[in-house]
Amino acid sequence: YRLIDTAKLYGNEADVGVAVRGSGVPREDVFVTTKLWNSDHGYGNAIRACEESLDRMKMDYVDLYLIHWPVRGPRVETWNALVDLHRAGKCRAIGVSNYMRGHLEELRGSPVVPAVNQIEFSPFLYQRDVREYCRQRGIVVEAYSPLTRGMKLNDRRVRVIATKYGKSSAQILLRWGLQRGLVVIPKSARPDHIRENVNVFDFEIAEEDMRALDGLSHGLHVSWDPT
């Protein structure tokens, strides 16, 4: 694993910095994402929040800095701050999280298009419209909670497909996301699950099974619904 997804909200930025420095892996070979929290919107607040995150991690830059949620208020002003942080080299790339189409439309006047939109995405929450909008604008869609926080790992329809390929339900959900063009970021605290989650590159789900998984979507949110 070379991508680490953290945020001010998670309270572990300092731990991430310690881990990266102690890993023996060169900093340029690790992709670190962190996020601006809701209380830090506004130009000056956003600049300060990013600098404080870097200070906690003891890093000169992050690879990706995201607006965590599209809260009401000065969202465009906040985005302008991220553009300037990017120009200053504090962030290698900037993006947003939990932005739906209307939120993204607010940024159309900016000279910088978000590199990433990190949203909740799984076969049970197949957000086609947002994905298509992002595809048209060159925005990478990054899927969080691709495993539905475990809520649907025992779904009979997923288990049937998993058995067909000799894989776990988690591996089927992750592979579905990859084949639908997403960057998937699963989370686990268990080493055996962490190893299992990365073992998804030795098989491909047939299109008929992909369509069956597509059909599971029914608007299941395991996080707050940004709409």
Active site residues: 10
**Nearest CA to 85 among 55, 58, 65, 106?**
65
Strand order in the sheet with 3-5: 3-5, 31-36, 64-67, 94-97, 116-120, 140-144, 183-185
Question: CA-CA distance, 137 to 67, in Å (whole number)?
Answer: 18
One-letter-per-residue 3-state SS of the chain: CCEEECCHHHCCHHHHHHHHHHCCCCHHHCEEEEEECHHHCCHHHHHHHHHHHHHHHCCCCECEEEECCCCCCCHHHHHHHHHHHHHCCCECCEEEECCCHHHHHCCCCCCCCCCEEEEECECCECCHHHHHHHHHHCCEEEEECCCHHHCCCCCHHHHHHHHHHCCCHHHHHHHHHHHCCCEEECCCCCHHHHHHHHCCCCCCCCHHHHHHHHCCCCCCCCCCCCC
